[in-house]
Amino acid sequence: MFSVRLYLHILLYVWLIVLVLGLGLAGIVSGRAFIWGAVAVLVSLGLVGRLVCYLNAYNRRIKLFFDSIADHESMLYFPENTGTREQRCLHATFNRIYALMTEHKQHEFERELHQKEYESWEKLMRVLTHEIMNSVTPVVSLSETLLSYFQTKGGMARDVREMTGLTMGKTIRGLETIRNQGRSLLCFTDSYRQFSRLKPPERSSFSLTDLLQDIQMLYQEELSRQHIGFSMACFQSGIQVYADEGMLSQVLINLLKNAMQALAGQPDKKIRMEVHDGERMLFISVADNGPGIPSDLMEDIFIPFFTTKPDGTGIGLSLSRQIVRMHGGELSVRSQPYHETVFTISLPKNSNRDAFHD
C-alpha cells in the first residue's frame, strides 16, 4: 500500500510537470503568451527540483537503513509519528524489517549458542571417557594378570609355596604401575575439579616483584639444566598489587612451564618476563622464542580440555584465563613462530586499590 501511494505521488508530480511545461512551451512557441509561458517553464523547473528533493529524502532514508544493516546497527529507530504519510509508512516498514531481522539474529544466536554448548558437553564427555578408559583399562588388565599369579584356573588360591621370587617381583612392579595409573587419574580428576569449582579470589596487597623473583628462583635450576636464557624486567623496583597471590602465582607458573616446554629441542632458548605500567592496566607478559602457535589455534588453546600435547589435559590455559578474568583482567596471546610468542596478563589498576608505588 505504501509503494502504491508513493508511485501515485511521483506520477502526479510527473504529470503536473509535463502539463505545466507543455503549456509554457506552447505559449512561448505560439508567441501569444510569452511571459506566461516563461513563468510556466520556471514553475515546471521548480516542480522538478521539488520532485528531486522529495526522492532524495527517501533515498537518504533508504541509504541510512541499508548502511545500518551493513554496520550491524541494532539501535536505529525511524520515527513513525513525524513527516508525511508516505514517510511515516516508510519508517514503519523499516522498523518492521528491523524487528524481524533482530528476531532472526536472536534465534540464530541462540541456535549457535546451543550448538556450541552441545559441542562443549560432547567434547567434555569424550575427554573424560578417554582419560578414564586410558587409565582404567590397563589397570583392569594388569590386575587380572596379577590375580592369575595367586589363583588357579578354577579360582582357588595357590599354595604359598608355589610363590617364587620372580612372581613376587612381577607383583610388586605391577602394583607400582597400578599405583602410578591411579595417581595419574586422581591428578586429572583434581585438575577438572579445580576448573569446575574455582573459588573466588582472596585478595590482599603483596609485592609482585617479590613473587616474580620467587618464581625465578624456584625454576632457576631447571632453566639452567635445559640451557634456557631467562631475563626479567619491571618498570620499577617495587610493585604492589591487590590480588590473590596464590592464584596469580599459579597462572605465572603455568605460563612459564608452558614456555619451557615449547622450547624443548630448540638450540637457542630464551624466556623473558616483563611488567609494563599502562594508563589503566598493569601488564605482565611471558615471552619465548619457540615454534609459536598456529593462527587457527590462537583461541582454541583457551578452550577447556583442548590440548596439542600428547600428555596434556587442556586445563592449564583455560584455568589461567578464568583466574585472570575473575580478577577483572584478561589473558591474551600473540605469536610469531620462532621469533616471539607472548602471553600477556592485563590487570585493571582500579582493582589494586591504587597500590602501585616504590
* C-alpha dihedral sign at 172, 176, 182, 185: negative
Helix, strand, or coil (residue 343): strand
Bridge-based pairing state of the strands 281-288 and 340-348: antiparallel
CA angle 314–319–324, rounded 5-degree value? 145
- Mind listing the pLDDT tens digit for each residue in 47-77? 787 777 767 666 666 666 666 666 655 555 6
The 3-state DSSP composition of the chain as helix, strand, coil percent (nearest 5) reads 60, 15, 25
Least confident of 84-88, 269-273, 337-341: 84-88
Helices (H) then strands (E): counts for the chain: 7, 7
Task: Please report the pLDDT score of residue 218 as a whole number.
Answer: 86
Quick one: which of 154, 149, 155, 151 has its CA closest to 175?
A: 149
Mean pLDDT of 330-343: 90
Could you read off the pLDDT of 70-120 as tens digits, one per residue? 665 555 566 666 666 666 666 677 677 767 767 766 777 667 756 765 666
Dist. CA 244–CA 203, nearest whole Å: 4
Mean pLDDT taken over the chain: 77
Region at 31 (left for phi over 0; alpha for psi -120 to 50; beta for the rest):
left
Q: Which CATH class is domain 204-351?
A: alpha beta
Q: How confident is the model at residue 124 (pLDDT cuts 50, 70, 90)?
A: low
Helix 85-150 to helix 165-196 angle, to the nearest 10 degrees?
160
What mean pLDDT comes out for the span 205-223? Answer: 88
Mean pLDDT across 130-148: 74
Neighbours of 52 (CB within 10 A): 12
User: Residue 271 has what pLDDT?
Assistant: 94
Between 4-8, 29-33, 283-287, 299-303, the lowest mean confidence (pLDDT) is in 4-8
At residue 87, φ and ψ (nearest 5 deg) are -65, -40
Q: What is the pTM of this model?
A: 0.51
The pLDDT-based confidence of 332 (bands split at 50, 70, 90) is very high
How far apart are the C-alpha atoms of 149 and 144, rounded to whole Å?
9
Whether the per-residue pLDDT at 356 is higher than 50: the answer is no
